[in-house]
């Protein structure tokens, strides 16, 4: 069975060489814009490509404003600060996520509370959040507190795993009920829509990532998405060392951060954005091919987008029968030049988050034993075929 799957993946990508999990693709104006940036000498944090990149992402996602950062982790750190998260506050999130989600919470001195995920999204479950809050939280005026720790619960951070949106309508209702700020970790979901609206734009703040393995890349990089323009202005101020604009004077009115994206990275991002929709359609076509193939493979399920969503299928995922099957599949594929990987180690199993509260995480642990990611790069052959058409 595994050899059949390996042969199919090689045929899909038309390659007998090593097949990576998710490699960047540069088929547009990347070199042109980089040369233009270098010729201008504005390669650092000031330059026209920074502004253009922010405008392009804001227009595509429907956000009122977008602010670039050096990476998605920094963007999430700043997003939670802007949402009012402070030291010793608590943040509702999921254990099934990349460690950056929880690291960003820790940078503030806050603490994650891990709630279970839904089987159809792999993301934070509104039902599970509601149940935990009803049992463990209490409102005092306009603020929410944890009954057992006495700490304020300030924020809710769902992560759209592999580009699949969580149930945002229901989650928004729960956040409103408990006076929690919704901050979407949409790092993996640029190009994903929930009921026609782009992920990262449901609360006042969301973030996306442009790491080298993302759907589009700036090498590294991230961005904050805002529905509140005043917050966006403040974010821009904080990312530039909280320096007041002046032609020659250096005056900083609060503690700021050097979270600025260099113009040279933004130039790459502008070129990538020009092909984003084409890349997403390509990845969705690849996902459709995988879905049809694995429909005929017993004991392996291809994870499809939730109802009412358009996922970018950043990484395609398989659900194996059990952990033993998962491990044997990982060993076979990686030994034969096809990169596959398990889902991340659960956050509550890591030493720095082992003592955080959880709700039992039944679905989370089920996924942790079974999920495998398979090659999900933009398929160059399909891309060129569609361009010719």
The length of the chain, given as a count of residues: 389
What is the C-alpha to C-alpha distance for residues 168 and 184, in angstroms, rounded to an integer? 9
Vertex 280, ends 276 and 283: CA angle to 5°? 140
Sign of CA dihedral 292, 295, 300, 301: positive
The candidate with the shortest Cα–Cα distance to 252, out of 260, 244, 264, is: 244
Q: Is the model's pLDDT at 236 over the cut of 60?
A: yes
Q: Give 262-273 pLDDT, tens digit per residue.
A: 999 999 999 999
How far, in Å, CA of 63 to CA of 10, rounded?
A: 39
Residue 298's pLDDT band (boundaries 50, 70, 90)?
confident
- C-alpha–C-alpha distance, residues 188 and 214, integer Å: 7
Residue written as tokens 């592999």? Answer: 162
Please determine, for residue 91, whether its predicted confidence score (pLDDT) is greater than 90. yes
Domain 30-273 has CATH 3.40.718.10: no
pLDDT value at 211 more than 90: yes
Distance (Å, whole) CA 7 – CA 48: 46
Contact 346, 247 (CB under 8 A): no
pLDDT at 389 over 60: no
CATH of 2-25+276-388, one of 3.20.190.10, 3.90.1150.10, 3.30.1660.40, 3.90.1300.10: 3.90.1150.10
- Check whether 9 has a pLDDT greater than 60: yes
Rounded CA gap, 87 and 74, in Å?
17
Confidence of residue 388 (pLDDT cuts 50, 70, 90): low
Model confidence pLDDT, tens digit, residues 103-112: 999 999 999 9
Residue 316 has pLDDT above 60, yes or no: yes
Distances (CA, A) of 80 to 161, 267, 280, 359, 378: 19, 27, 28, 23, 32
For residue 383, the model assigns a pLDDT of: 76
**DSSP 8-state assignment for residue 44:** S
**Residue ranges of domains in the chain:** 2-25+276-388, 30-273
Stated as kind and residue range, the H or E segment containing 200 is: none
Among residues 377, 376, 358, which one has the least CA distance to residue 368? 358
CA–CA distance, 155 with 158 (Å, rounded to integer): 10
- Over residues 56-68, the mean pLDDT reads 98
Q: What is the mean pLDDT of residues 75-93?
A: 97
| pTM more than 0.85 | yes
Mean pLDDT of the chain, nearest integer: 95
pLDDT of residue 307: 95
pLDDT confidence of residue 247: 86
pLDDT at position 45 is 84
Tokens 């929690």 correspond to 180
Q: Percentage of the chain surpassing pLDDT 70? A: 98
Q: Which long-range contacts (C-beta less than 8 Å, at least 24 apart) are formed by 328-332?
A: 328/2, 329/2, 329/5, 329/372, 330/372, 332/2, 332/3, 332/6
Q: What is the pLDDT of residue 260?
A: 93
Examine the pLDDT at 381 and tell me if it is beyond 90.
no
Q: How many whole angstroms separate alpha carbon 162 and alpha carbon 41?
A: 37
* Strand, coil or helix: 188: coil
Q: How confident is the model at residue 245 (pLDDT cuts 50, 70, 90)?
A: confident
**Cα 188 versus chain centre, distance:** 3
């Amino acid at each position: 069975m595994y050899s059949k799957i390996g042969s199919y993946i090689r045929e899909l990508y038309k390659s007998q060489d090593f097949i990576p999990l998710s490699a960047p693709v540069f088929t547009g104006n990347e070199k042109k814009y980089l040369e233009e940036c270098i010729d201008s000498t504005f390669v650092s944090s000031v330059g026209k490509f920074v502004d253009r990149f922010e405008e392009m992402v804001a227009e595509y996602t429907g956000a009122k404003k977008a602010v670039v950062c050096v990476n998605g982790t920094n963007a999430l750190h700043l997003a939670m600060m802007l949402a009012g998260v402070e030291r010793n506050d608590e943040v509702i999130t999921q254990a099934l996520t990349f460690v950056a989600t929880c690291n960003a919470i820790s940078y503030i001195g806050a603490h994650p509370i891990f709630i279970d995920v839904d089987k159809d999204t792999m993301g934070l479950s509104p039902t599970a959040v509601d149940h935990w809050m009803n049992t463990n939280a209490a409102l005092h005026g306009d603020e929410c507190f944890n009954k057992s720790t006495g700490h304020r619960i300030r924020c809710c951070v769902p992560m759209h795993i592999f580009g699949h949106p969580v149930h945002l309508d229901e989650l928004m209702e729960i956040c409103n009920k408990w006076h929690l700020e919704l901050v979407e970790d949409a790092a993996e979901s640029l190009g994903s829509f929930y009921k026609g609206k782009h992920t990262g734009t449901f609360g006042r703040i969301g973030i996306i990532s442009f790491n080298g393995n993302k759907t589009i890349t700036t090498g590294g990089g991230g961005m904050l998405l805002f529905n509140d323009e005043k917050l966006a202005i403040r974010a821009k101020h904080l990312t530039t060392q909280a320096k007041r604009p002046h032609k020659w004077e250096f005056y900083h009115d609060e503690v700021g951060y050097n979270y600025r994206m260099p113009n040279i990275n933004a130039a790459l991002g502008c070129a990538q954005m020009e092909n984003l929709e084409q890349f997403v359609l390509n990845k969705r076509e690849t996902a459709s091919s995988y879905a049809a193939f694995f429909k005929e493979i017993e004991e392996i399920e291809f994870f499809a987008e939730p109802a009412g969503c358009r996922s970018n299928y950043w990484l395609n995922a398989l659900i194996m029968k059990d952990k033993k099957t998962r491990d044997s599949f990982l060993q076979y594929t990686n030994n034969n030049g096809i990169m596959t990987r398990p889902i991340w180690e659960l956050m509550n199993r890591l030493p720095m988050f082992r003592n955080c509260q959880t709700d039992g995480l039944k679905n989370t642990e089920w996924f942790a034993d079974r999920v495998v990611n398979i090659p999900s790069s933009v398929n160059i052959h399909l891309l060129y075929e569609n361009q010719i058409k």
